[in-house]
């Protein structure tokens, strides 16, 4: 039988151990900012941008986003909140969330439709360069007073919610 005697064991700080499928790093931002948009053009969601630098070209980035929104309409026609996530300048995720009047409540002659927009998407960027993911949103139409509010799940013109964007590097 062999015996190994050591006086000190120190980690090798220049190496990284990454087991495929395991989380290497997490970057997360939260925003409680209120923002109202009355446009069909995409607008940056306040505070909903995060940057991550993958450690390997084989890594995947799991993007998790949730944002409370309220759609305001003067009529009970269906409408959608349009949500887009960009990776740097390219569209990474595009979603239209239909909000229907039967789930809304009337306030000041308007119909309020509230929901939480969710996204869970796995990206394969194949780079070790910094990646910035940001959330944008818009109204499908501005007809009949179609407006969209970020971080608002009630009729008040203030923040009543918190949006989150989480980026997780997954070892490839």
In this prediction, residue 144 carries a pLDDT of 61
Q: Domain for residue 14, yes or no?
A: no
In this prediction, residue 102 carries a pLDDT of 45
Q: Domain for residue 8, yes or no?
A: no
Q: Domain for residue 103, yes or no?
A: yes
Look at 39-53, 107-121, 136-150 and tell me which has the smallest mean pLDDT: 107-121
133: left (phi over 0), alpha (psi -120 to 50) or beta: beta
Range of the domain at 96: 32-48+62-123+132-163
Helix, coil or strand: residue 56: coil
Q: Domain for residue 37, yes or no?
A: yes
Mean pLDDT of the chain: 83
Q: Dihedrals φ, ψ of 128, to 5°?
A: -115, 15
**For the domain that residue 41 is a member of, what is the CATH number?**
2.60.120
Q: Number of structural domains, the chain?
A: 1
Q: Domain for residue 56, yes or no?
A: no
Q: Domain for residue 15, yes or no?
A: no
**pLDDT tens digit sequence for 56-103:** 999 999 999 999 888 777 665 656 788 899 999 998 888 776 655 444
47: left (phi over 0), alpha (psi -120 to 50) or beta: left
């Amino acid at each position: 039988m062999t015996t190994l005697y050591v006086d000190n064991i120190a980690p090798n700080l220049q190496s990284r151990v990454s087991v495929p499928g395991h989380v290497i790093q997490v970057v997360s931002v939260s925003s409680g900012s209120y923002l109202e948009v009355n446009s069909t053009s995409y607008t940056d969601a306040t505070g909903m941008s995060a940057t991550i630098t993958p450690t390997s070209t084989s890594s995947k980035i799991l993007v998790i986003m949730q944002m409370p929104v309220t759609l305001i309409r003067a009529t009970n026609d269906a409408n959608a909140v349009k949500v887009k996530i960009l990776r740097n300048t390219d569209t990474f995720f595009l979603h239209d969330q239909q909000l229907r009047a039967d789930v809304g409540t009337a306030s000041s002659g308007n119909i309020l439709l509230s929901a939480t927009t969710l996204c869970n998407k796995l990206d394969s960027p194949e780079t070790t360069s910094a990646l910035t993911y940001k959330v944008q949103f818009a109204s499908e139409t501005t007809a009949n007073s179609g407006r969209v509010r970020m971080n608002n799940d009630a009729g008040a013109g203030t923040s009543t919610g918190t949006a989150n964007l989480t980026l997780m590097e997954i070892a490839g």
